[in-house]
Homo-oligomer: A and B are copies of this chain.
Amino acid sequence: MFSRIAVFGLGLLGGSICRGLRSISHQGEIIAFARDPGKLGDALRGRVIDRVISMEAARLDGIDLLIICTPVFHSIELLNTILNDSGLGATSLVIDVGSVKSPIVEAALANPRADRFVGCHPMAGSERTGYGASRHDLYNQAPVIITPHARNARGDIEKVAGFWRSLGAVVVEAEASFHDSVVARTSHLPHLLACSAMHAIGGLAESMGPGLTNFMGNGFRDVTRIAAGSPEMWADIFAANGTNIAAAARDTIKIIEDVIARIEANGDPRMIADFFDRARELRKGI
């Protein structure tokens, strides 16, 4: 396994990796590179990390695994900086945890040292963000999608897969472009719908104030929970995966328009029931 690991961005995902490593008694050193090292006092005192170093002072020599846990566009910048760094070891590996994989894999492939990068996407987000929300068991039983590219060696993919499995994750592989088209529907579209549900009550929230919450059940809270997620992170994701998300959104508009047509056809419940039947069948399958 990797003896010295460095994390860029000690938030929910990065923090949970470090906590997870401690809980499995990882013997190596864990370093955090941070824009604001002063904010990582808790992680240092709790021995979740061994050292914290500012981004500017980051030296890559001797680090076996570099984990980029920042929003998508910042990750692409960081990846280029890292791959261009002469301190990056010949057998060191760089991974990320971003929700969109094609842009970062393409950025890697444009670099002579592309073989050092393996794209990863743990399906382990939350509407809670930041180090304070991190947990040692976040990756336990969570799927992690690895997106191998043309310059990756099989052995490196296996090393990265082993790393995630050591944290309890279930590893699957998918091509980056396929991954992006699928998560547009399994992750990005649900986020759009959750936020749209909030926007749809915006007028009522203004006219009714806090009394509106009396008209909400657990269903509303479930559907909209993820709308509390980081706007910056999600804006990056929507910009980076725009084509797939726009296609998924247009399909969803057609689905909704079809329901409206059924409602307005004659109000016969049987006209609408098959829409709900199909949704329930699909939901039971997951």
Contacts and interface: CB of A to CB of B under 8 A. Distances in A.
Interface of A: 73, 123-127, 142-143, 145, 170, 172, 174, 179, 182-183, 185-187, 189-202, 204-205, 208, 210-229, 231-232, 234-236, 238-239, 242, 245-246, 248-253, 255-257, 259-260, 263-264, 267-280, 282-286
A217 B248 contact: no
25 contacts: A73-B269, A143-B214, A172-B214, A186-B215, A186-B220, A190-B224, A193-B194, A193-B196, A196-B279, A197-B252, A210-B285, A212-B286, A213-B286, A216-B286, A220-B286, A222-B225, A228-B284, A231-B279, A234-B276, A236-B269, A238-B259, A239-B269, A242-B264, A242-B267, A253-B256
Contacts of A220: 186-187, 190, 286
A238 B256 contact: no
A282 B238 contact: no
A134 to B, nearest CB: 15
Contacts of A183: 215
A224 B197 CA distance: 13
Interface centre among A197, A274, A275 (most CB of B within 10 A): A197
B212 A186 contact: yes
Chain A facing B: main interface SS: helix
Contact of A282 (B186, B227, B270): B227
Contact of A192 (B127, B222, B251, B256): B256
Given A179-B215, A185-B201, A246-B263, 5 more contacts: A125-B217, A196-B255, A222-B223, A239-B272, A246-B260
Contact of A235 (B192, B249, B272, B282): B272
Contact of A238 (B179, B235, B251, B263): B263
Contacts of A186: 201, 204, 212, 215-217, 220
A280 B228 contact: yes
A260 B249 contact: yes
Interface centre among A187, A231, A270 (most CB of B within 10 A): A231
A267 to B, nearest CB: 5
A200 B252 contact: yes
A235 B201 contact: no
B282 A199 contact: yes
